[in-house]
């Protein structure tokens, strides 16, 4: 399962000078920070109010019942495909495409799909479709249900993401049919029960894959204006600026960052030895490592926003105010970490699904040096985008005299995350 769970190479696979990587990253961060401080004195992002409407014909096609029906059928068919292979297929990803479908095509594939098309899992989600079909059979409005508690926020999604990443990175045999079946049965029962109580809006905030796809889709050039539901082309920064500041947002993004960081660290020989020789046992030690990685990311962010509040003197909710700036950082880590996995194991999974005997995964489209460069650039660009998003929010929230100074803790946080990301990549 290590091939499926770890998409990053070791240092001998990534022939790139650490000095040049760190120097380039720090230069990009400092130059962008100084340029923004000198040239960007007023907020320019308008969130959901921004965007150029797409042609009406394209809007009608996207919203047409046949289009949505096809998407729901595809989602249900894919879920049935995985379920049947888990129940009836052989064990092992070499002959059973279920694990590759879940860990590669779904988990990693949602990244490019959401960036290109928006929150696609909302339409593909088989649980949402099942809930819709049951409601129609009972003559019930799918949206009917009790109001969601405000304090609930995205906390169920954060817990779901942590559970899934635990399955992928920590579970003793994550590719086994038993482990995957158990996870998805529990996942389905929890969310169908939640939808029965609160209505379809439950999926918007509680389903881990919908929230994951939705956060990444904030950086898509495609979006919708809530006021008139128009499909628009927009700057990804406007989509990012519109991320709702709800409870659990910070936890969700920190799980995305921390679990990806742990995935890279867990490949280190020293950590493998530590886990295998731990008196606590492999699973317990690995679980503590995953939780520690998420906690470290969250602690650094909390310290940074606390310092920002002290400097600004008036920020009431610093944790959620700048949480959106972590989304492009998480995206950069995901691209850097899983690019090779997706372009090799993705086609391999498709070949297994088509019944090809002993399929050989294709070679990566880039040489090791090109992959290393792509990974470093993805991490650096993610942090630079985070700096831009944080700066625009700062000049909106802070008095002009404190707008730049209030960003210094955020810059320190970006540097800390950059050091950590590049160290995991190159060490």
Arithmetic mean of pLDDT, 348-367: 81
pLDDT of residue 228: 83
User: With 50 as the cut, is the pLDDT of residue 354 above it?
Assistant: yes
Residues contacting 120, CB < 8 A, separation 6+: 71, 110, 113, 114, 213, 217
DSSP-based three-state secondary structure for 94: coil
- Distance CA(165)–CA(163), nearest Å, equals 6
Residue 117, phi then psi, degrees to nearest 5: -115, -5
Residue written as token pair 């609930």: 152
- Distance CA(254)–CA(235), nearest Å, equals 24
- Distance CA(418)–CA(422), nearest Å, equals 6
Residues contacting 39, CB < 8 A, separation 6+: none
pLDDT of residue 427: 61
pLDDT of residue 11: 41
Percent of the chain with pLDDT over 70: 93
In this structure, the number of other CB atoms found within 10 A of the CB of residue 391 comes to 25
Span between the terminal Cα atoms of the chain, in Å: 23
6-18 pLDDT per residue, tens: 433 334 445 566 7
pLDDT of residue 311: 77
211-231 pLDDT per residue, tens: 999 999 999 999 998 888 889
Confidence of residue 120 (pLDDT cuts 50, 70, 90): very high
C-alpha 118, offset from chain centre = 13
C-alpha 272, offset from chain centre = 25
User: With 50 as the cut, is the pLDDT of residue 351 above it?
Assistant: yes
Confidence of residue 115 (pLDDT cuts 50, 70, 90): very high
- Distance CA(381)–CA(134), nearest Å, equals 44
Residue 232, phi then psi, degrees to nearest 5: -135, 155
Yes or no: say if 41 and 391 are a contact pair by the CB < 8 Å rule: no
pLDDT of residue 95: 84
Q: H/E element holding 216?
A: helix 208-217
Confidence of residue 2 (pLDDT cuts 50, 70, 90): very low
**Worst-scoring range by mean pLDDT, 33-42, 143-152, 219-228?**
33-42
Percent of the chain with pLDDT over 90: 49
Residues contacting 377, CB < 8 A, separation 6+: none
359-413 pLDDT per residue, tens: 777 787 877 778 888 888 888 899 889 988 988 888 888 877 777 777 788 888 8
Helices (H), 109-176: 110-117, 121-124, 126-138, 155-169
Confidence of residue 5 (pLDDT cuts 50, 70, 90): very low
pLDDT of residue 250: 94
pLDDT of residue 20: 67
DSSP 324: G
Closest CA to 167 of 157, 177, 152, 155: 177
pLDDT of residue 38: 73
In order of 57, 94, 359, 419, the CA distances from 350 in angstroms are: 33, 12, 10, 36
156-212 pLDDT per residue, tens: 999 999 999 999 999 988 989 999 999 999 999 999 999 999 999 999 999 999 999
64-109 pLDDT per residue, tens: 999 999 999 999 999 999 999 999 988 777 788 999 999 999 999 9
Residue 222, phi then psi, degrees to nearest 5: -95, 135
Q: H/E element holding 222?
A: strand 222-224
C-alpha dihedral over 180, 204, 239, 313, to 10 degrees? -100
Burial class (CB within 10 angstroms; exposed 0-12, middle 13-18, buried 19+) of 24: middle
Yes or no: say if 324 and 389 are a contact pair by the CB < 8 Å rule: yes
- Distance CA(166)–CA(25), nearest Å, equals 30
DSSP 55: P
pLDDT of residue 19: 66
Yes or no: say if 98 and 89 are a contact pair by the CB < 8 Å rule: yes
Helix pair angle (18-39, 368-397), 10° resolution: 30
Tell me the pLDDT of the chain averaged across its residues: 87
74-83 pLDDT per residue, tens: 999 999 999 9
Partners of 233 in the beta sheet? 52, 222
Most confident of 119-133, 139-153, 353-367: 119-133
Arithmetic mean of pLDDT, 297-316: 83
């Amino acid at each position: 399962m290590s091939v499926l769970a770890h998409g990053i190479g070791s240092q001998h696979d990534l022939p790139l000078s650490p000095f040049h990587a760190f120097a380039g990253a720090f230069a990009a961060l400092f130059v962008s920070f100084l340029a923004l401080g000198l040239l960007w004195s007023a907020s320019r992002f308008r969130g959901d109010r921004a965007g150029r409407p797409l042609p009406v014909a394209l809007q009608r096609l996207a919203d047409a019942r046949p289009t949505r029906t096809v998407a729901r059928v595809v989602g249900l068919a894919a879920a049935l495909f995985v379920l049947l292979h888990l129940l009836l297929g052989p064990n092992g990803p070499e002959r059973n495409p279920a694990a590759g479908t879940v860990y590669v095509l779904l988990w990693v594939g949602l990244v490019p799909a959401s960036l290109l098309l928006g929150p696609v899992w909302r339409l593909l989600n088989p649980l949402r479709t099942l809930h819709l079909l049951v409601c129609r059979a009972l003559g019930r409005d799918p949206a009917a249900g009790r109001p969601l508690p405000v304090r609930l926020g995205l906390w169920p999604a954060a817990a779901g993401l942590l559970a899934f990443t635990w399955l992928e990175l920590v579970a003793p045999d994550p590719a086994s049919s038993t482990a995957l079946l158990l996870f998805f049965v529990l996942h389905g029962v929890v969310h169908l029960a939640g939808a029965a109580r609160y209505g379809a809006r439950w999926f918007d905030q509680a389903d881990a894959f919908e929230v994951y796809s939705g956060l990444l889709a904030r950086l898509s050039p495609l979006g919708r204006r809530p006021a008139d539901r128009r499909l628009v082309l927009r700057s990804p920064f406007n989509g990012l600026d519109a991320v709702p500041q709800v409870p659990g947002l910070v936890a969700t993004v920190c799980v995305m960052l921390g679990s990806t960081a742990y995935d890279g660290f867990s490949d280190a020989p020293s950590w493998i030895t530590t886990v295998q020789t731990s008196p606590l046992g492999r699973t317990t030690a690995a679980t503590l490592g995953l939780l520690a990685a998420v906690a470290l990311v969250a602690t650094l962010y909390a310290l940074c926003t606390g310092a920002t509040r002290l400097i600004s003197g008036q920020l009431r909710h610093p944790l959620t105010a700048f949480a959106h700036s972590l989304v492009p950082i998480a995206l950069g880590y995901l691209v850097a970490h899983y690019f090779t996995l997706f372009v090799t194991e993705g086609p391999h999974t498709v070949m297994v699904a088509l019944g090809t005997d002993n399929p050989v995964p294709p070679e990566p489209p880039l040489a090791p040096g090109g992959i290393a460069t792509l990974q470093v650039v993805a991490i650096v660009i993610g942090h630079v985008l985070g700096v831009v998003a944080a700066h625009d929010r700062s000049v909106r929230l802070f008095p002009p005299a404190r707008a730049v100074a209030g960003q210094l803790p955020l810059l320190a946080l970006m540097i800390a995350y950059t050091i950590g990301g590049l160290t995991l990549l190159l060490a």
